[in-house]
Structure 1
Amino acid sequence: MSYLSNYLDRIVMRGNPSLAAAIKKTTDDIIPQYVSNFTFKEHVVSLLVGDVQSGKTSHMFGLISAAADEGFGIFVLLTTDNILLQQQTFKRAQKDLSDFCICDENDYLSFVNNNMRKPVIIVLKKNGRILKQWKNNFSSTNFCAGNPLFIVDDEADAASLNTLINRRKQSTINKCLNEIKQTTSSSIYMQVTGTPQAILLQTLESGWKPYFIYYFKPGQGYLGGNFFFRAEQSPYIILTDNNEAEELLVDDEFPENGLKTALMMHLVSSAHVFLDGGTVSNFLVHPSVRTDQHGKFAEKIGDYLNEISITSEEPETAESFEIVYNNLKETKTNIRPFSEIFEFICNQLENDQINILVINSLNSYDDNVQYENGINIIIGGNSLGRGVTFPQLQTIYYCRLAKSPQADTMWQHARMFGYDRDAAFMRVFMPPILYKLFSDINTTNNNIIAQIKKFDHNSDIKIFYPTGLRPTRRNVLDKKAIGIFSGGVNYFPFYPRNKDITALDKILEPFTDDVYLVNLKLITRILELTDSETDDWSATAFTGFINTFIVENPLAQGRLIVRRERDIAKGTGTLLSPNDRRLGDTYDNEVVLTMYKVTGKKGWDGKQLWIPNIKLPGDIFYYNV
């Protein structure tokens, strides 16, 4: 019997052979290298990265099935601390993994009575009380100590990391997860997320830096960052005024604005979906983290709907809808005739069939399950983030702007990503400032994925973001261990030394005192031969950053400036001459390495040596653990 084969057969029987093939590739890549040779005497942390809403659960189930074939019998599947999400995962596991003993949070007797006859999966929320309870459950059984745990932590960056790291304490959830691992002699802890920034910036000492990383590609039909935030502006993005969200809430009139246009587009696309036999169409409005604003937006949209209904027989209303209709027709060429669309909209408004739903901390998900059917307008904040999937989501109005935006949080708000969308109908409304931030995040995401693929699952991944955009929240990063380097700033070792000056002389011999356009790989070779007597210089960090550019373009170029016979004193507070500093600054979007060979006469014991000065490109922060 093969648990993996049975799981894949079920997926094929449901009509999705391409998904089965993708899962098989993931298991073929991970299991032989990292699971089959497990030593049963260590605790291994790993990371599975997939795009937001790209099918991570299916791949998680595939890896669980394949690990069961390798002799693992106890699996813990962790979800975020949300009752609905935990229950959704539990019921899906029951449906998809019928060969297993699937246990809910209160199924301790089922777990014990199973007595290892079947592999068991316990689906738990990341909740302190629940985790402590199951830590005690594992400790009290006589078969846990001798069987390794296989822990799969969905959205592992959300609550699992130590939020008290900078106070040299341990947060409750992080401590509970450590204690669960220690109930057995060995474990594999697989972190799973679509936003790995916080995990990639963990230290080895934290215990949460992954031993290996694996990225799986999304399947056919997935709409993600490269669909919406590509180099050229997408026709599926409609830019609004930066201050529109604030202004429209204090305007009692019915002016032209992005929210009104988005609402009309939602009505048009919904009409087509329902006239074609569909049963659901959703519009997501994400204005702010503040719950009071959610209510104000709901009232504003309600006023807009009433205004449309009242003026539906006036020519101006039909003309406004026809403009929106023609915009959608540019991408949805087979859209139904406008007359049918507009008649359907008027009938729906007349019969009060458009639902306005507010989802936030004041309203539970259980009260809002009606977005699974009907024409819905969903308004909320944080509750519209991780783990929540909205079927047939075609229109998004996103204007939430944090004072200190975090890349992982923003990317989790990208509910437009996924499979269950008609690409031709997709429209995302956002101000230019947010479009730029999302585009920057997508650029770094692509670079992270390229590094994972290039460096053979090595976990030393470098991250960079523009000034003003943080990779993640500060409280999970050890500020004593994270180095942050600024683009456009000159860095050099205060007390330099050369690992091999003869080798450096040889590399730099062809270059006279001038500036050269060179391959970035040459710059890394030079940096690898530099060092410092103290910890003020990390050639490894700089070569790591440069390698992120090389991953995307092996022919990437930088500038090399060479100067010899420099009579510079040891311990000087500056290195570059004013002229060389100005020269380097002219190449603000390139890597610039300036190599000074000093005479050694002023405090260097008469020994000549090369001193590097490097400037990374752009108005960007580069993060290094």
Structure 2
Amino acid sequence: MTSIIQNGPFFEKFLNDPRYGQVDIQAITETVQKLLDTETNLDRPGMLLGKIQSGKTKTFIAIIALAFDNGFDGAIILTKGTKALSKQTIERISKEFKGFTDREMLQPYDVMTMPKKLTGYEINQKLVFVAKKQSDNMDRLFDAFSNPALRGKKILIIDDEADYASIGFKKTKEEGIQINTTTSQIDSIRKLIKNSSFLQVTATPYSLYLQPESIEIKGTEFKPIKPAFTQLVPVNKDYVGGDYYFNDSLDVENIASHLYIPITRQELEVLHKPDRRKFKIEEALKSNAISSLRLAIVGFVVGGCIRRLQDQRESKDVKKYSFLIHTESNKNAHAWQEDVVNALYDQLSDAIHRNDPICDKLFTEAYTEFVKSIQLDGFYLPPVQEVIELAKTALTEEWLMITKVNSEKQIDELLDSDGQLKLRTPLNIFIGGQILDRGVTITNLIGFYYGRRPKIYQQDTVLQHSRMYGFRPKNDLAVTRFYTEPGIYQAMKAMHECDSALRTSFENSDGDQSVVFIGKDESGLIRACSPNKILISEVTTLRPYRRILPIGFQTDYPTYLKPVVASIDNLVDDLGSTDGEPFLIDSDIAINILRKVQKTLKCEVEEGYQFDWDAAASIVGYLSGLSRNPEEQGKVWCLVRTNRNLSRTKSNGAHTLYSDSPDTARTESAVAKSVAINNPMLMLIKQNGLEENGWRGSPFYWPVVYAQKNVKTVIFSSEIAE
């Protein structure tokens, strides 16, 4: 093992920096140690795995410093192909290493503006090159390293956002599978530099983890990048990410339970383009067509005012806040959304001048939305009238600024000296598309209206859209809201669960594959498959006691419902069921029951809810075959509960959500955890379906599939790539 020098001139600066705690220093040292001791060649680079907006850049900059003290002569940082991220990176490098640049010990370069030829004097300094993963940047980088004096240096190549362009193939009908141009260029540069180490930095390792060992394209074997080692970036206790969004949010006593507010697919369609049959812009203040957007905008104003009043009370400097609208990649849609938000702003301001009572009504509704989440953690709640008066001041004195950001030029003009979006007024709304996703930091973001629905959900792209991930003060979180369609929320939740499973496998075994990948083939059989065959668009992560159930549905009409429910009643009775006691049944019978229930429940597809019954049936079949007891293989525990009266919807502050817990933690879940050890459980919760509870007046079964305790983490896809 190579002995690491920690007290060298470059790294000493970071050792004394309070931003770096002991766990950070340990991770940085371990990374450089592995780079020195492990051959990170073309096929096996190291991986620095962090979480979205968790401090990965801070970490890899310190890694560069420590590497410089331990034999490395230079570094190449490959960034996502946007000017914003490239500018942010070069300015960050220049700032962090300014003292060394002033003493001519180090020179940072943007490859597109650097001198065409470096002098020997410059080459003898430590060098940092920042290049976008675009053809022109990569060509300039290749030209620079064609210089033998530079090519012979020991170089650390850092591929930031490694899953974005470093990996990639595209498939077209005309040309078949093609390597992405940038991918092959990176490969060429790695081959050009004879003495190099390669470190990839990512928060979404899915595409890196799921690659094949090799792939042949047009007669040429291309070996995609797979990690030689994985080093995890420490996560600060104040970090807010997927666990907060999708796990903590299940606890009604946690402020995270107030974060998510559903919006309808119809509203997203209204915001796609003008259509006066659906929405008249002059009615923005009252139209039901944009009720969630209106609530979101007014809520942002009220939430920002609450935070300013809280800080004033504690004699703190008041902050500026931001809100992001990201529903489309289409620039015409952005222009329309800007028109809608401006119309809402103008009409609300005009109503304030006219003392229209609708203003107090909207502000009060928004205030009510925040009351419980603020009180849950014991924060100061300013009086409602004081908040309303400040909100009116904010709108009439132009505290609110609405900015459309959908081009490189625009975002470049809007960045501050640190490469972050500049907040010019106390309240800032940004409307844009993918230009605002990864790499661009939006400070003090307390509202996010999200509606991107791609044909295929790519984990690395969709999760990176979550710009509210990062370090967030708790009192900001109390007024933070995330507006999205239920289907999108469920897709993001599935991706988070998959990401967590992969991350856990890295933590437990340093990247060794300990997650099982399975899929359903054309015949309907479940089989293990290569990870690269899994399609992220349709995944379910199975862990011990994972619940799988439909939500967001209405029952069929009684005429059609009653005979199916009666047949399930007869089937359950024939099996010898007693209300409350679990019993074993064949998996085929369990799947048959699920298929019968499927006919009775209709998901609210237009609102974004759906349930994959095929996947549920396949999962039951798979899990039932895992029993360690040969006599119980192919068996499923069945638990029947009757005479339940759960309402179809539940209240969450000022909002209504669909009920999602027909089973309760103290009863049914407790039974499942005590019984479903080696075999899964199918719960059949029979609801009375009363009209006063929002149903159609006829009993129905609500199924819940429970994975057993003894199950290895499984990533299941209902689709397998060809």
- TM class by smaller structure: 0.7 to 0.9
Residue 127 (structure 1) aligned with residue 134 (structure 2): yes
1:92 maps to 92
Secondary structure in structure 2 of the residue aligned to 1:182: helix
Counterpart for residue 263 of structure 2: 240
Indicate whether 1:392 and 2:444 are aligned.
Answer: yes
Q: Structure 1 residue aligned with 2:206, among 197, 200, 225?
A: 197
Shift of 1:380: 1.2
2:542 match? none
What is the TM-score when the length of structure 2 is the normalising length? 0.64
**Contact 1:386/1:413, CA 8 A, preserved across alignment:** yes
Q: How does 1:431-442 map to 2 (within 5 A)?
A: 431-442=485-496
Aligned to 2:507: 453
What is the identity percentage for the equivalent residue pairs of Structure 1 and Structure 2?
Answer: 21
One-letter code aligned to 1:355: M
CA contact (8 A) 1:242 1:431 kept: yes
Residues 214-270 of structure 1: per-residue CA shift (max 9 Å, x gap): 222321211111111116162111122342222466322223511111111110122
Deviations 1:526-553 (CA, angstroms, capped at 9, x unpaired):
xxxxxxxxxxxxxxxxxxxxxxxxxxx9
Q: Do 1:488 and 1:617's aligned partners in 2 also have CA atoms closer than 8 Å?
A: no
The alpha-carbon deviation at position 451 of structure 1 amounts to: 0.6
1:111 shift after superposition: 5.0
Q: Retained in 2: the 8 A contact 1:283–1:376?
A: yes
1:212 maps to which residue?
229
Q: Distance in 1 between matches of 2:91 and 2:130?
A: 10
Residue by residue, what CA displacement relative to the aligned partner does 1:44-103 show, whole Å, maximum 9, x if unpaired? 412211111111101111221222222111210111122232121111101112333222
CA–CA separation in structure 1 for the residues paired with 2:24 and 2:679: 44
Aligned partner of residue 146 in structure 2, secondary structure: helix
SS at match of 1:229: helix
After TM superposition, the structure 1 stretch with the greater mean CA deviation from structure 2, 279-288 or 454-463, is: 454-463
For 2:17, the equivalent position in structure 1 comes to 11
Which residue is 1:255 aligned to?
A: 287
- The whole-number CA distance in structure 2 between the counterparts of 1:87 and 1:513 is 61
The CA deviation at 1:195 is: 1.5
Note if contact 2:44-2:226 (Cα within 8 Å) is conserved in structure 1.
Answer: no
The verdict on how the C-alpha distance between 1:362 and 1:558 changes in structure 2, with shifts beyond 3 A counting, is same
Whichever residue aligns with residue 172 of structure 1, its letter is T
1-structure distance, mates of 2:464, 2:298: 26
Distance 1:115 1:362 in 2: 31
CA–CA separation in structure 2 for the residues paired with 1:304 and 1:618: 44
Q: CA deviation at 1:283?
A: 0.8
Q: Distance in 2 between matches of 1:315 and 1:245?
A: 28
Matched, 1:419 2:485: no
Q: Report what 1:372 is aligned to.
A: 423
> In structure 1, how many angstroms separate the alpha carbons of the residues matched to 2:22 and 2:368?
39
Matches within 5 A, 1:448-527: 448-458=502-512, 482=533, 488-489=617-618, 511=630
Q: Give, in angstroms, the shift of residue 155 of structure 1.
A: 0.8
Which among 242, 245, 261 is matched to residue 225 of structure 1? 242
Q: Which residue of 2 aligns with 1:402?
A: 454
Q: Amino acid of the residue matched to residue 232 of structure 1?
A: L
TM-score (norm 1): 0.73
Given the superposition, is the C-alpha separation of residues 616 and 393 from structure 1 closer, same or farther in structure 2, using an over 3 Å criterion? Answer: closer
Contact 1:289–1:381 (CA under 8 A) maintained in structure 2: yes
Using the alignment, how far apart are the partners of 2:411 and 2:125 within structure 1? 33
Task: Classify 1:193/1:348 alpha carbon distance in 2 versus 1 (closer, same or farther; 3 Å).
Answer: same
Change beyond 3 A, Cα 1:189–1:487: farther
Counterpart-to-counterpart distance in 1, 2:472 and 2:141: 36
Whether contact under 8 Å (1:487, 1:617) holds in the other structure is no
Q: Where in structure 1 are there 5+ consecutive unaligned residues?
A: 468-477, 493-506, 519-552, 561-585, 594-613
Matched, 1:170 2:188: no
Deviation string, structure 1 residues 559-608 (Cα, Å, up to 9, x no partner): 49xxxxxxxxxxxxxxxxxxxxxxxxx99765899xxxxxxxxxxxxxxx
Asked if 1:2 is matched to 2:8, the reply is yes
In structure 1, what is the equivalent of residue 388 of structure 2? 342
Q: 1:362-409 deviations in whole A, cap 9, x for unaligned? A: 862024347433121111121121111111110111122223322222
Preserved contact between residue 150 and residue 189 of structure 1 (Cα < 8 Å): yes
- Whether contact under 8 Å (2:79, 2:85) holds in the other structure is yes
Partner of 2:156: 150
Name 2:648's counterpart in structure 1.
Answer: none
Corresponding position of 2:323:
283
Change beyond 3 A, Cα 1:587–1:491: closer
Asked whether the 8 Å contact 1:201–1:624 carries over to 2, the reply is no
Q: Is the 8 A contact 1:491 1:615 kept in 2?
A: no
Contact 1:589 1:617 in 2 (8 A): no
Shift of 1:181: 1.0
Whether the 8 Å CA contact 2:84–2:439 is kept in 1: the answer is no
| Structure 1 counterpart of 2:480, one-letter code | M
Partner amino acid, structure 2, of 1:324? A
The separation in 1 between residues aligned to 2:30 and 2:721, in whole angstroms, is: 28
Partner of 1:102: 108
Which secondary structure state, in structure 1, belongs to the residue aligned with residue 169 of structure 2?
A: coil
3-state DSSP of counterpart to 1:11: coil
- 1:25-64 to structure 2, matched below 5 A, reads 25-32=26-33, 34-38=34-38, 44-64=44-64
RMSD: 3.8
Q: 1:303 aligns with which of 343, 350, 358?
A: 343
Q: Which residue in 2 is equivalent to 1:597?
A: none
Alpha carbons of structure 1 residues 168 and 349: separation in structure 2 relative to 1, 3 Å: closer
